[in-house]
A and B are shown apart, each in its own frame.
Chain A
């Protein structure tokens, strides 16, 4: 059966126009989530002279004031590449962070978490998580319809003939990033819909005890508390050494303390098993508090479908540690493809707007795109600059978060009050300025230390700054007819 190209084009274009603005936000905040750890390292004030990592017990002793009385703790272990110890509790996330080289407390920079929360839950908890997941489904529909639409042209992934620059970019990006787009779509859809499906289908597979589904998924669970005071806890550094000798090929990333201070207390060493696409949630070695080995949990012992479900999270969030030496390269490629997906959606929106210049619905969409997407870009650039000023003590702690929300809110309103061309030009110029100032501020702070920490973030910011400068210049100088933002109708009265 032949496929109707006109119908395919209509489906691809309509779905893109209806949801592309929101899809861009999901993709951009997803790319932010991928670079989140690097951004946190980038935002920290420069460390003193480089030194070896302190033992875990010494670091934990420095945080005794904060952690005393807490019976459930999770410690995200430092590494040579990321020398910070994060101390997390079940309810509050990770409220404490220490520099693992000298034990000094570090700012947790919670404002940097805002775009990540936008990607994970859209600030709406579990319903938001499901909602964001639906964009994975939408991405799959767009990819499938785009693929069917361009299937003959995909034979040549180098040049699409007879098309404008935006169309060439759209086609090339779509062709080259196709495997990752499918990966983002499938794993993104399953991240929230999988959790929803687990909740909805639990009574079907366990009719008598639906809650058993979580116990089975997370098995084996740590032993329960006994209600009696505990004897001495094992030295965690010693336990990590013994665990490494017992299970070679295991990469520890977290230590979890359960029922601390109780006779039933236990310690979990969680991480990655080489060759097993999984996360520290499922790769665990369980010990009693005295260091006696209890059991190991690994995705390797699960069935094929459960393993596939477990693999969703590491594949979605580029946690390729289980691949050993390739992990850094693949994570970088994953992030690059995430940004390419943003460019793909932006170029698709641009094409749709360009074809419908002057139409009322195009004006609305252009305003929404500028306000939501351009605004998010400006807000994140402003956030990074504000965080750099905050860690130097020039701004109070609460300001970066307010800068992010304030800039985004203002950007949403501006396209409805100011001509779109001016709005686009001012937004691009401000974003460029914020990106370059943030990078310059970090580079200046690092210059005195003789090291180059998180330099890829500086490079990315400088490149983004240059791209936005180019956009601002082009918007100001190109002939009006070339841009979807050059709307001939008086914008304020449209």
Chain B
């Protein structure tokens, strides 16, 4: 029970964290000239990505799998942001 709760919490935190990092990356690098357009495109796309990530991680076969599915994006996005900085 506790490991399931921990898995769910990690899935939630990982998905939200991935959505925030994804939004940050999109707002900076989307090929749109208007800054406001870039900002709101990033918000919409991050919400869609975050929801998909939440559902996908929620379907993991074990708590570890749930956490892995949600959090695997985090280092990739963080690395991409760092390399692109």
Contact = CB atoms under 8 A, between A and B. Distances in A.
A200 B35 contact: no
A309 B47 CA distance: 12
B41 interface: yes
A314 B68 CA distance: 38
Contacts of A306: 34, 36-37, 40
B47 A190 contact: yes
A205 interface: yes
A197 interface: yes
A304 B24 CA distance: 20
Given A204-B27, A308-B40, A11 B55 contact: yes
A306 B37 CA distance: 6
A194 to B, nearest CB: 6
B54 to A, nearest CB: 5
The size bracket of the interface on A is 35 or more
B46 interface: yes
Contacts of A394: none
Contacts of B34: 303, 306
B20 A200 contact: yes
Contacts, number: 90
Contact of A201 (B32, B39, B55): B39
A7 B62 CA distance: 10
Interface in B39-60: 39-44, 46-47, 50-51, 54-55, 58-60
A330 interface: no
Interface residues of B, number: 28
B53 to A, nearest CB: 10
Interface in A37-65: none
B71 interface: no
Contact of B46 (A186, A197, A198): A197
Contact of A144 (B32, B36, B55): B55
Contact of B59 (A4, A194, A304): A4
* Interface SS of B by simple majority: helix
B58 to A, nearest CB: 4
A364 to B, nearest CB: 13
Contacts of A193: 43, 47
26 contacts: A4-B59, A4-B61, A7-B59, A11-B55, A14-B8, A137-B50, A137-B54, A141-B54, A186-B47, A190-B43, A197-B43, A197-B46, A200-B23, A201-B23, A201-B43, A205-B27, A205-B35, A205-B39, A206-B35, A213-B36, A303-B32, A305-B32, A305-B36, A305-B40, A306-B36, A308-B44
* 9 tightest A-B CB contacts, nearest first: A205-B35, A305-B40, A197-B43, A11-B58, A303-B37, A305-B41, A309-B40, A201-B27, A204-B27
Given A137-B47, A216-B35, A305-B36, 10 more contacts: A3-B59, A141-B55, A141-B58, A190-B47, A201-B24, A201-B27, A204-B28, A303-B32, A305-B32, A305-B44
Interface of A: 3-4, 7-8, 11, 14-15, 18, 137, 140-141, 144-145, 186, 189-190, 193-194, 197-198, 200-202, 204-206, 213, 216-217, 302-306, 308-309
